[in-house]
Structure 1
Amino acid sequence: MDSSGAVGAEHRRAGIRALPPNDPRQYDDLADQWWRPDGAFAMLHWLAAARARLVPPATGPGALLVDVGCGAGLLAPHLHGKGYRHVGVDLVRSALVQAAGHGVEPVVGDATAVPLADGCADVVVAGELLEHVPDLPGTVAGICRILRPGGLLVLDTLNATALSRLLAVRLAELVPGVPRGIHDPALFVDPRELIRLCARHGVRLSVRGVRPTFWRTAGWVVRTATGRSASTVDRPAPRIVPTWSTAVLYQGRGVKQS
Protein backbone atom coordinates (compact mmCIF):
# COMPACT_ATOMS: atom_id res chain seq x y z
CA MET A 1 0.00 0.00 0.00
CA ASP A 2 1.38 3.46 -0.88
CA SER A 3 1.46 6.32 1.62
CA SER A 4 -1.80 7.85 0.40
CA GLY A 5 -3.50 4.48 0.78
CA ALA A 6 -2.16 4.12 4.30
CA VAL A 7 -3.45 7.56 5.21
CA GLY A 8 -6.83 6.70 3.74
CA ALA A 9 -7.05 3.48 5.76
CA GLU A 10 -6.06 5.31 8.94
CA HIS A 11 -8.68 7.98 8.36
CA ARG A 12 -11.38 5.41 7.73
CA ARG A 13 -10.53 3.68 11.02
CA ALA A 14 -10.72 7.05 12.80
CA GLY A 15 -14.03 7.95 11.19
CA ILE A 16 -12.49 10.80 9.17
CA ARG A 17 -13.21 11.04 5.47
CA ALA A 18 -10.27 10.00 3.33
CA LEU A 19 -9.02 12.81 1.11
CA PRO A 20 -6.03 13.13 -1.23
CA PRO A 21 -2.88 14.76 0.18
CA ASN A 22 -3.02 18.58 0.20
CA ASP A 23 -6.78 18.62 -0.34
CA PRO A 24 -8.18 21.95 1.00
CA ARG A 25 -11.25 20.16 2.37
CA GLN A 26 -9.05 18.83 5.16
CA TYR A 27 -9.14 22.30 6.72
CA ASP A 28 -12.92 22.11 6.98
CA ASP A 29 -12.59 18.79 8.78
CA LEU A 30 -10.00 20.31 11.15
CA ALA A 31 -11.79 23.63 11.64
CA ASP A 32 -11.94 23.24 15.42
CA GLN A 33 -8.14 22.90 15.62
CA TRP A 34 -7.06 26.34 14.35
CA TRP A 35 -6.96 28.20 17.67
CA ARG A 36 -5.93 25.33 19.97
CA PRO A 37 -2.34 26.10 21.08
CA ASP A 38 -1.46 22.40 21.23
CA GLY A 39 -3.79 21.33 18.43
CA ALA A 40 -3.14 20.12 14.91
CA PHE A 41 -2.01 23.57 13.78
CA ALA A 42 0.25 24.37 16.74
CA MET A 43 3.30 24.99 14.58
CA LEU A 44 1.36 27.48 12.47
CA HIS A 45 0.99 29.61 15.62
CA TRP A 46 4.77 29.59 16.13
CA LEU A 47 5.34 30.47 12.48
CA ALA A 48 2.79 33.29 12.57
CA ALA A 49 4.66 34.91 15.45
CA ALA A 50 7.97 34.62 13.57
CA ARG A 51 6.40 36.00 10.40
CA ALA A 52 5.01 39.02 12.22
CA ARG A 53 8.48 39.87 13.51
CA LEU A 54 9.46 40.58 9.88
CA VAL A 55 6.62 43.09 9.46
CA PRO A 56 7.51 46.63 10.56
CA PRO A 57 4.93 49.06 11.95
CA ALA A 58 2.83 50.82 9.31
CA THR A 59 4.31 54.06 8.07
CA GLY A 60 0.99 55.88 7.85
CA PRO A 61 -2.77 55.65 8.32
CA GLY A 62 -4.67 53.29 6.06
CA ALA A 63 -1.72 50.99 5.36
CA LEU A 64 -2.94 47.69 3.94
CA LEU A 65 -1.53 44.26 4.77
CA VAL A 66 -2.85 41.41 2.65
CA ASP A 67 -2.47 37.98 4.24
CA VAL A 68 -2.68 35.46 1.38
CA GLY A 69 -3.54 31.97 2.60
CA CYS A 70 -4.54 33.48 5.94
CA GLY A 71 -6.34 30.42 7.28
CA ALA A 72 -8.18 31.29 10.47
CA GLY A 73 -6.21 34.51 10.96
CA LEU A 74 -3.41 33.28 13.20
CA LEU A 75 -1.28 36.26 12.21
CA ALA A 76 -3.81 38.77 13.57
CA PRO A 77 -2.84 38.80 17.28
CA HIS A 78 0.78 39.46 16.35
CA LEU A 79 -0.11 42.54 14.29
CA HIS A 80 -1.93 44.36 17.08
CA GLY A 81 -0.55 47.86 17.44
CA LYS A 82 1.28 47.85 14.10
CA GLY A 83 -1.35 49.99 12.42
CA TYR A 84 -2.42 47.89 9.43
CA ARG A 85 -5.77 47.19 7.91
CA HIS A 86 -5.55 43.39 7.79
CA VAL A 87 -7.20 41.69 4.81
CA GLY A 88 -7.09 37.89 4.65
CA VAL A 89 -7.46 35.87 1.45
CA ASP A 90 -8.21 32.16 1.50
CA LEU A 91 -10.17 29.47 -0.33
CA VAL A 92 -11.44 27.82 2.87
CA ARG A 93 -14.62 29.56 3.98
CA SER A 94 -14.77 27.87 7.38
CA ALA A 95 -11.31 29.28 8.15
CA LEU A 96 -12.27 32.77 6.96
CA VAL A 97 -15.24 32.80 9.33
CA GLN A 98 -12.82 32.35 12.22
CA ALA A 99 -10.39 34.91 10.78
CA ALA A 100 -13.18 37.49 10.70
CA GLY A 101 -13.78 36.84 14.38
CA HIS A 102 -10.20 37.93 15.04
CA GLY A 103 -10.46 41.22 13.20
CA VAL A 104 -9.37 40.10 9.73
CA GLU A 105 -11.34 41.35 6.72
CA PRO A 106 -12.09 38.09 4.87
CA VAL A 107 -11.84 37.69 1.10
CA VAL A 108 -12.58 34.40 -0.64
CA GLY A 109 -10.04 33.98 -3.40
CA ASP A 110 -7.34 31.95 -5.08
CA ALA A 111 -3.73 33.05 -4.70
CA THR A 112 -3.23 33.03 -8.46
CA ALA A 113 -6.10 35.49 -8.92
CA VAL A 114 -6.39 37.51 -5.72
CA PRO A 115 -9.54 39.64 -6.12
CA LEU A 116 -7.80 42.88 -5.15
CA ALA A 117 -6.44 45.78 -7.20
CA ASP A 118 -2.92 45.90 -8.61
CA GLY A 119 -0.47 47.59 -6.25
CA CYS A 120 -2.97 47.99 -3.42
CA ALA A 121 -0.95 46.42 -0.61
CA ASP A 122 1.82 47.95 1.48
CA VAL A 123 2.67 44.48 2.78
CA VAL A 124 1.82 41.06 1.37
CA VAL A 125 2.26 38.04 3.62
CA ALA A 126 2.23 34.49 2.27
CA GLY A 127 2.83 32.18 5.21
CA GLU A 128 2.94 28.40 4.79
CA LEU A 129 1.14 28.81 1.49
CA LEU A 130 3.56 28.18 -1.35
CA GLU A 131 4.16 24.51 -0.52
CA HIS A 132 0.43 23.92 -1.05
CA VAL A 133 -0.11 25.54 -4.45
CA PRO A 134 -0.06 23.53 -7.70
CA ASP A 135 0.80 26.67 -9.73
CA LEU A 136 3.83 28.26 -8.09
CA PRO A 137 4.62 30.72 -10.92
CA GLY A 138 0.99 31.87 -11.03
CA THR A 139 0.86 32.28 -7.27
CA VAL A 140 4.05 34.32 -7.12
CA ALA A 141 2.75 36.50 -9.96
CA GLY A 142 -0.54 36.97 -8.08
CA ILE A 143 0.99 38.01 -4.77
CA CYS A 144 3.53 40.32 -6.42
CA ARG A 145 0.84 41.94 -8.56
CA ILE A 146 -1.05 43.31 -5.57
CA LEU A 147 2.11 44.64 -3.89
CA ARG A 148 2.81 48.35 -4.45
CA PRO A 149 6.27 49.53 -5.55
CA GLY A 150 8.33 49.84 -2.39
CA GLY A 151 6.01 47.39 -0.63
CA LEU A 152 7.20 44.46 1.45
CA LEU A 153 6.71 40.74 0.74
CA VAL A 154 7.06 38.33 3.68
CA LEU A 155 6.75 34.56 3.31
CA ASP A 156 7.79 31.22 4.69
CA THR A 157 7.65 27.76 3.16
CA LEU A 158 9.22 24.30 3.01
CA ASN A 159 12.23 23.48 0.86
CA ALA A 160 12.15 20.86 -1.88
CA THR A 161 14.77 18.60 -0.30
CA ALA A 162 14.87 15.01 0.89
CA LEU A 163 15.56 16.24 4.43
CA SER A 164 12.49 18.47 4.35
CA ARG A 165 10.31 15.60 3.15
CA LEU A 166 11.70 13.38 5.89
CA LEU A 167 11.24 15.83 8.77
CA ALA A 168 8.13 17.74 7.70
CA VAL A 169 6.14 14.79 6.39
CA ARG A 170 7.36 11.33 7.29
CA LEU A 171 8.53 12.04 10.85
CA ALA A 172 6.16 14.90 11.68
CA GLU A 173 3.13 12.80 10.76
CA LEU A 174 4.19 10.16 13.28
CA VAL A 175 3.48 12.63 16.11
CA PRO A 176 -0.02 12.01 17.54
CA GLY A 177 -2.34 14.86 16.70
CA VAL A 178 -0.40 16.04 13.65
CA PRO A 179 -2.73 15.72 10.63
CA ARG A 180 -1.78 13.24 7.93
CA GLY A 181 -1.76 14.25 4.31
CA ILE A 182 -1.77 18.02 4.82
CA HIS A 183 1.31 18.30 2.60
CA ASP A 184 2.14 16.97 -0.83
CA PRO A 185 5.95 16.99 -0.82
CA ALA A 186 5.99 17.21 -4.61
CA LEU A 187 4.90 20.85 -4.15
CA PHE A 188 7.73 21.88 -1.81
CA VAL A 189 9.61 24.95 -3.02
CA ASP A 190 13.25 25.33 -4.06
CA PRO A 191 14.36 28.76 -2.74
CA ARG A 192 16.44 29.39 -5.86
CA GLU A 193 13.35 29.02 -8.01
CA LEU A 194 11.35 31.22 -5.67
CA ILE A 195 13.98 33.97 -5.78
CA ARG A 196 14.00 33.79 -9.58
CA LEU A 197 10.21 33.98 -9.82
CA CYS A 198 10.01 36.94 -7.45
CA ALA A 199 12.71 38.78 -9.40
CA ARG A 200 10.66 38.32 -12.57
CA HIS A 201 7.96 40.43 -10.90
CA GLY A 202 10.24 43.07 -9.46
CA VAL A 203 10.69 41.70 -5.93
CA ARG A 204 14.25 41.20 -4.74
CA LEU A 205 13.82 38.36 -2.26
CA SER A 206 16.34 37.27 0.34
CA VAL A 207 15.89 34.01 2.26
CA ARG A 208 17.12 32.54 5.51
CA GLY A 209 16.64 29.21 7.20
CA VAL A 210 14.51 28.97 10.32
CA ARG A 211 13.69 26.24 12.82
CA PRO A 212 11.75 25.76 16.05
CA THR A 213 13.69 25.88 19.31
CA PHE A 214 14.65 22.33 20.23
CA TRP A 215 13.73 21.86 23.90
CA ARG A 216 10.38 23.62 23.76
CA THR A 217 9.49 21.65 20.65
CA ALA A 218 10.49 18.41 22.34
CA GLY A 219 8.23 19.34 25.24
CA TRP A 220 5.37 20.02 22.84
CA VAL A 221 5.87 16.61 21.19
CA VAL A 222 5.77 14.89 24.61
CA ARG A 223 2.63 16.78 25.65
CA THR A 224 0.96 15.98 22.35
CA ALA A 225 1.92 12.31 22.50
CA THR A 226 0.66 11.94 26.07
CA GLY A 227 -2.48 14.00 25.58
CA ARG A 228 -1.57 16.65 28.16
CA SER A 229 -2.70 20.21 27.43
CA ALA A 230 -0.23 23.06 27.38
CA SER A 231 -0.10 25.93 29.84
CA THR A 232 1.01 29.09 28.10
CA VAL A 233 2.31 30.34 31.46
CA ASP A 234 4.25 27.28 32.64
CA ARG A 235 5.16 25.94 29.20
CA PRO A 236 5.81 28.74 26.71
CA ALA A 237 5.31 27.86 23.07
CA PRO A 238 8.31 26.99 20.91
CA ARG A 239 9.88 29.94 19.14
CA ILE A 240 10.93 29.95 15.48
CA VAL A 241 14.52 31.16 15.25
CA PRO A 242 17.00 31.70 12.40
CA THR A 243 19.36 28.88 11.48
CA TRP A 244 22.26 28.50 9.06
CA SER A 245 20.48 26.08 6.72
CA THR A 246 17.49 26.58 4.43
CA ALA A 247 17.26 22.82 3.82
CA VAL A 248 13.91 22.36 5.62
CA LEU A 249 12.06 25.56 6.49
CA TYR A 250 12.89 29.06 5.34
CA GLN A 251 11.62 32.63 5.43
CA GLY A 252 11.73 35.14 2.62
CA ARG A 253 11.63 38.92 2.76
CA GLY A 254 11.79 41.29 -0.18
CA VAL A 255 10.85 44.73 -1.44
CA LYS A 256 9.16 45.41 -4.77
CA GLN A 257 11.27 47.67 -6.92
CA SER A 258 9.82 50.90 -8.30
Structure 2
Amino acid sequence: MPFRSAAHRAPNDPAQYDDLVAQWWRPRGAFAMLHWLAAARAAVIPPSTGPDAVLVDLGCGAGLLAPHLGGKGYRHIGVDLSQTALAQAVAHGVSPVRADVRFVPLADGCADVVCAGEILEHVRDFAAVVAEACRVLRPDGLLVLDTLADTWLSRMLAVSVAERLPGGPPPGIHDPALFVDRGRLIECCADQGVALTLRGIRPSAVDVARWLAHRTESVRMLPVGTTAVLFQGWGRKERS
Protein backbone atom coordinates (compact mmCIF):
# COMPACT_ATOMS: atom_id res chain seq x y z
CA MET A 1 0.00 0.00 0.00
CA PRO A 2 1.27 3.54 -0.71
CA PHE A 3 2.25 5.77 2.19
CA ARG A 4 -0.30 8.40 3.10
CA SER A 5 1.38 10.11 6.07
CA ALA A 6 2.08 13.30 4.11
CA ALA A 7 -1.31 13.56 2.40
CA HIS A 8 -2.15 16.73 4.33
CA ARG A 9 0.87 18.53 2.87
CA ALA A 10 0.99 20.52 -0.34
CA PRO A 11 2.70 18.73 -3.24
CA ASN A 12 6.49 18.89 -2.99
CA ASP A 13 6.41 20.28 0.57
CA PRO A 14 9.90 19.54 2.02
CA ALA A 15 8.29 18.81 5.41
CA GLN A 16 7.14 15.50 3.95
CA TYR A 17 10.67 14.18 4.37
CA ASP A 18 10.47 14.85 8.10
CA ASP A 19 7.05 13.18 8.23
CA LEU A 20 8.58 10.10 6.60
CA VAL A 21 11.94 10.20 8.39
CA ALA A 22 11.61 6.63 9.67
CA GLN A 23 11.23 5.35 6.09
CA TRP A 24 14.60 6.34 4.62
CA TRP A 25 16.54 3.12 5.21
CA ARG A 26 13.69 0.64 4.90
CA PRO A 27 14.18 -1.27 1.64
CA ARG A 28 10.40 -1.67 1.38
CA GLY A 29 9.57 1.73 2.79
CA ALA A 30 8.32 4.95 1.25
CA PHE A 31 11.68 5.63 -0.39
CA ALA A 32 12.28 2.16 -1.86
CA MET A 33 12.78 3.48 -5.38
CA LEU A 34 15.37 5.99 -4.16
CA HIS A 35 17.49 3.01 -3.10
CA TRP A 36 17.22 1.56 -6.61
CA LEU A 37 18.13 4.89 -8.17
CA ALA A 38 21.09 5.40 -5.83
CA ALA A 39 22.57 2.11 -7.03
CA ALA A 40 22.07 3.12 -10.66
CA ARG A 41 23.67 6.51 -10.00
CA ALA A 42 26.69 4.96 -8.33
CA ALA A 43 27.20 2.69 -11.33
CA VAL A 44 28.01 5.78 -13.42
CA ILE A 45 30.65 7.00 -10.95
CA PRO A 46 34.17 5.65 -11.54
CA PRO A 47 36.64 4.90 -8.74
CA SER A 48 38.58 7.96 -7.60
CA THR A 49 41.96 8.67 -9.12
CA GLY A 50 43.56 10.12 -5.99
CA PRO A 51 43.59 9.81 -2.19
CA ASP A 52 41.82 13.12 -1.54
CA ALA A 53 38.95 12.82 -4.00
CA VAL A 54 35.68 14.49 -3.02
CA LEU A 55 32.14 13.65 -4.08
CA VAL A 56 29.45 16.25 -3.37
CA ASP A 57 25.95 14.78 -3.13
CA LEU A 58 23.31 17.49 -3.65
CA GLY A 59 19.99 16.63 -2.05
CA CYS A 60 21.62 13.66 -0.35
CA GLY A 61 18.68 12.90 1.94
CA ALA A 62 19.67 10.21 4.43
CA GLY A 63 22.75 9.24 2.43
CA LEU A 64 21.33 6.40 0.34
CA LEU A 65 24.21 6.73 -2.13
CA ALA A 66 26.81 5.95 0.56
CA PRO A 67 26.65 2.13 0.58
CA HIS A 68 27.20 2.05 -3.18
CA LEU A 69 30.38 4.15 -3.00
CA GLY A 70 32.27 1.72 -0.80
CA GLY A 71 35.75 1.14 -2.15
CA LYS A 72 35.57 3.96 -4.70
CA GLY A 73 37.72 6.21 -2.57
CA TYR A 74 35.72 9.41 -2.22
CA ARG A 75 35.10 11.64 0.72
CA HIS A 76 31.30 11.84 0.55
CA ILE A 77 29.89 15.29 1.33
CA GLY A 78 26.10 15.47 1.51
CA VAL A 79 24.14 18.70 1.08
CA ASP A 80 20.51 18.80 2.19
CA LEU A 81 18.03 21.02 4.03
CA SER A 82 16.52 18.24 6.15
CA GLN A 83 18.25 17.99 9.50
CA THR A 84 16.52 14.69 10.27
CA ALA A 85 17.74 13.17 7.00
CA LEU A 86 21.28 14.48 7.45
CA ALA A 87 21.47 12.92 10.90
CA GLN A 88 20.94 9.54 9.27
CA ALA A 89 23.41 10.33 6.49
CA VAL A 90 26.12 10.97 9.09
CA ALA A 91 25.54 7.49 10.50
CA HIS A 92 26.43 6.12 7.05
CA GLY A 93 29.71 8.00 6.72
CA VAL A 94 28.51 11.16 4.97
CA SER A 95 30.02 14.53 5.91
CA PRO A 96 26.91 16.73 6.30
CA VAL A 97 26.31 20.26 5.03
CA ARG A 98 22.91 21.69 5.83
CA ALA A 99 22.15 24.10 2.99
CA ASP A 100 19.88 24.96 0.10
CA VAL A 101 21.21 23.27 -3.05
CA ARG A 102 20.87 26.60 -4.85
CA PHE A 103 23.43 28.15 -2.49
CA VAL A 104 26.06 25.55 -1.65
CA PRO A 105 28.62 26.78 0.93
CA LEU A 106 31.56 24.98 -0.67
CA ALA A 107 34.55 26.35 -2.57
CA ASP A 108 34.76 26.61 -6.35
CA GLY A 109 36.27 23.51 -7.96
CA CYS A 110 36.43 21.49 -4.74
CA ALA A 111 34.69 18.35 -6.04
CA ASP A 112 35.85 15.55 -8.31
CA VAL A 113 32.26 14.35 -8.70
CA VAL A 114 28.97 16.15 -8.10
CA CYS A 115 25.74 14.16 -7.91
CA ALA A 116 22.27 15.67 -8.18
CA GLY A 117 20.03 12.65 -7.73
CA GLU A 118 16.26 13.13 -7.72
CA ILE A 119 16.56 16.76 -6.68
CA LEU A 120 16.15 18.89 -9.83
CA GLU A 121 12.43 18.06 -10.05
CA HIS A 122 11.95 19.39 -6.51
CA VAL A 123 13.34 22.92 -6.96
CA ARG A 124 11.77 25.97 -8.57
CA ASP A 125 14.95 27.03 -10.32
CA PHE A 126 16.86 23.96 -11.47
CA ALA A 127 19.19 26.17 -13.52
CA ALA A 128 20.51 27.66 -10.26
CA VAL A 129 21.18 24.17 -8.91
CA VAL A 130 22.99 23.19 -12.10
CA ALA A 131 25.10 26.36 -11.87
CA GLU A 132 26.08 25.55 -8.27
CA ALA A 133 26.82 21.92 -9.13
CA CYS A 134 29.13 23.01 -11.92
CA ARG A 135 30.72 25.76 -9.82
CA VAL A 136 31.92 23.34 -7.14
CA LEU A 137 33.03 20.82 -9.78
CA ARG A 138 36.71 20.92 -10.74
CA PRO A 139 37.77 21.02 -14.40
CA ASP A 140 37.40 17.53 -15.86
CA GLY A 141 35.22 16.59 -12.88
CA LEU A 142 32.10 14.49 -13.42
CA LEU A 143 28.51 15.67 -13.04
CA VAL A 144 25.93 12.87 -12.50
CA LEU A 145 22.21 13.44 -12.19
CA ASP A 146 18.84 11.76 -12.49
CA THR A 147 15.44 13.37 -12.58
CA LEU A 148 11.98 13.39 -14.17
CA ALA A 149 11.20 14.85 -17.59
CA ASP A 150 8.66 17.60 -18.14
CA THR A 151 6.32 15.58 -20.35
CA TRP A 152 2.70 14.43 -20.17
CA LEU A 153 3.94 10.84 -20.11
CA SER A 154 6.14 11.52 -17.11
CA ARG A 155 3.37 13.29 -15.26
CA MET A 156 1.03 10.36 -15.89
CA LEU A 157 3.46 7.55 -15.06
CA ALA A 158 5.49 9.16 -12.27
CA VAL A 159 2.55 10.74 -10.46
CA SER A 160 -0.84 9.37 -11.49
CA VAL A 161 0.42 5.78 -11.68
CA ALA A 162 3.63 5.38 -9.65
CA GLU A 163 2.39 7.20 -6.55
CA ARG A 164 -0.31 4.53 -6.24
CA LEU A 165 2.00 1.53 -6.59
CA PRO A 166 4.16 -0.33 -4.04
CA GLY A 167 7.74 0.84 -4.36
CA GLY A 168 6.68 4.07 -6.03
CA PRO A 169 7.11 7.54 -4.56
CA PRO A 170 4.87 8.66 -1.69
CA PRO A 171 1.71 10.48 -2.81
CA GLY A 172 2.28 14.22 -3.07
CA ILE A 173 6.07 14.03 -2.96
CA HIS A 174 6.24 15.60 -6.45
CA ASP A 175 4.82 18.73 -8.02
CA PRO A 176 4.61 17.93 -11.75
CA ALA A 177 4.94 21.63 -12.54
CA LEU A 178 8.59 21.35 -11.50
CA PHE A 179 9.53 18.47 -13.78
CA VAL A 180 12.62 19.16 -15.87
CA ASP A 181 12.75 20.36 -19.46
CA ARG A 182 15.48 18.21 -21.01
CA GLY A 183 16.51 20.69 -23.68
CA ARG A 184 16.87 23.49 -21.17
CA LEU A 185 18.81 21.20 -18.83
CA ILE A 186 21.30 20.39 -21.59
CA GLU A 187 21.63 24.10 -22.39
CA CYS A 188 22.15 25.02 -18.73
CA CYS A 189 24.89 22.42 -18.38
CA ALA A 190 26.53 23.54 -21.63
CA ASP A 191 26.54 27.13 -20.36
CA GLN A 192 28.55 25.86 -17.39
CA GLY A 193 31.01 23.89 -19.50
CA VAL A 194 29.45 20.44 -19.17
CA ALA A 195 28.31 18.51 -22.25
CA LEU A 196 25.54 16.36 -20.81
CA THR A 197 24.62 12.90 -22.10
CA LEU A 198 21.11 11.67 -21.29
CA ARG A 199 19.79 8.12 -20.96
CA GLY A 200 16.30 6.97 -20.05
CA ILE A 201 15.97 4.40 -17.25
CA ARG A 202 13.21 2.33 -15.70
CA PRO A 203 12.90 -0.38 -13.02
CA SER A 204 13.33 -3.97 -14.19
CA ALA A 205 9.87 -5.53 -14.41
CA VAL A 206 11.30 -8.92 -13.44
CA ASP A 207 13.01 -7.46 -10.39
CA VAL A 208 9.89 -5.55 -9.35
CA ALA A 209 7.89 -8.78 -9.48
CA ARG A 210 10.53 -10.50 -7.35
CA TRP A 211 10.58 -7.53 -4.97
CA LEU A 212 6.79 -7.64 -4.58
CA ALA A 213 7.06 -11.36 -3.84
CA HIS A 214 9.73 -10.64 -1.19
CA ARG A 215 12.31 -12.60 -3.17
CA THR A 216 14.76 -9.70 -3.46
CA GLU A 217 15.52 -6.47 -1.62
CA SER A 218 16.75 -4.55 -4.65
CA VAL A 219 15.55 -3.67 -8.13
CA ARG A 220 17.82 -2.92 -11.07
CA MET A 221 17.27 0.20 -13.13
CA LEU A 222 17.54 -0.60 -16.83
CA PRO A 223 18.24 1.68 -19.82
CA VAL A 224 15.33 2.47 -22.12
CA GLY A 225 15.12 4.11 -25.52
CA THR A 226 13.36 7.26 -24.34
CA THR A 227 14.19 10.00 -21.85
CA ALA A 228 10.54 11.10 -21.70
CA VAL A 229 9.95 9.87 -18.13
CA LEU A 230 12.89 9.11 -15.83
CA PHE A 231 16.40 9.76 -17.04
CA GLN A 232 20.04 9.92 -16.03
CA GLY A 233 22.55 12.50 -17.20
CA TRP A 234 26.31 12.72 -16.97
CA GLY A 235 29.14 14.80 -18.36
CA ARG A 236 32.58 16.18 -17.54
CA LYS A 237 33.37 19.82 -16.99
CA GLU A 238 35.63 21.22 -19.67
CA ARG A 239 39.17 22.09 -18.75
CA SER A 240 39.97 25.80 -18.45
Shorter-normalised TM-score: what interval?
A: over 0.9
- Partners in 1 of 2:82 and 2:152 — Cα distance? 29
Q: How far apart are 1:192 and its partner, in Å?
A: 1.2
Tell me the SS of whatever aligns to 1:211: strand
Instruction: Structure 2: give runs of 5+ residues left out of the alignment.
Output: none
Q: Which of 15, 21, 24 in structure 1 is aligned with 2:14?
A: 24
User: In structure 2, how many angstroms separate the alpha carbons of the residues matched to 1:200 and 1:24?
Assistant: 29
TM-score by length of 1: 0.88
Counterpart of 1:235? 216
Q: Secondary structure at the match of 1:22?
A: coil
1:121 counterpart = 2:111: yes
Identify the match of residue 252 of structure 1 among 229, 233, 236: 233
Could you report, residue by residue, the CA deviation over 1:98-123 in whole angstroms, capped at 9, with x for unpaired residues?
Answer: 00000000000111110100110000
Query: 2-side partners of 1:157 and 1:117: how far apart?
Result: 25
Alignment of 1:1-258 (within 5 A): 18-175=8-165, 178-220=169-211, 222=212, 230=214, 234-258=215-239
Higher share in helix: 1
Cα deviation for residue 236 of structure 1 reads: 4.5
Deviation of 1:215 (Å): 2.0
Aligned residue type for 2:41: R
Deviation (angstroms), 1:190 = 1.7
Structure 1: which 5+ runs fail to align?
Answer: 1-9, 224-229
Aligned equivalents of 2:205, 2:184: Cα separation in 1? 29
Q: Spell out, residue by residue over 1:68-103, the C-alpha distance to the aligned partner (whole angstroms, 9 max, x if none).
A: 000000000000000000000001110000000000
After TM superposition, give the deviation of residue 17 of structure 1 in Å. Answer: 6.8
Question: How far apart, CA to CA, are the structure 2 residues paired with 1:170 and 1:163?
Answer: 10
Residue identity in the other structure for 2:230: L
Is the contact made by 1:89 and 1:106 (CA closer than 8 Å) also made in structure 2? yes
Work out the CA distance in 2 between the residues paired with 1:17 and 1:175: 15
Number of equivalences: 236
Highest RCO, 1 vs 2 (Cα 8 Å, sep ≥ 6): 2
Taking every aligned residue pair, what percent have the same amino acid on both sides? 62
Q: Distance in 1 between matches of 2:101 and 2:7?
A: 26
- Offset of residue 179 of structure 1: 1.5
Q: RMSD over aligned Cα, in angstroms?
A: 1.6
Aligned amino acid, residue 143 of structure 1: A
Deviation at 1:218, TM superposition (A): 3.5
Q: Give SS of 2:195's match.
A: strand
Aligned amino acid, residue 213 of structure 1: S
**Helix, strand or coil for the counterpart of 1:88?**
strand
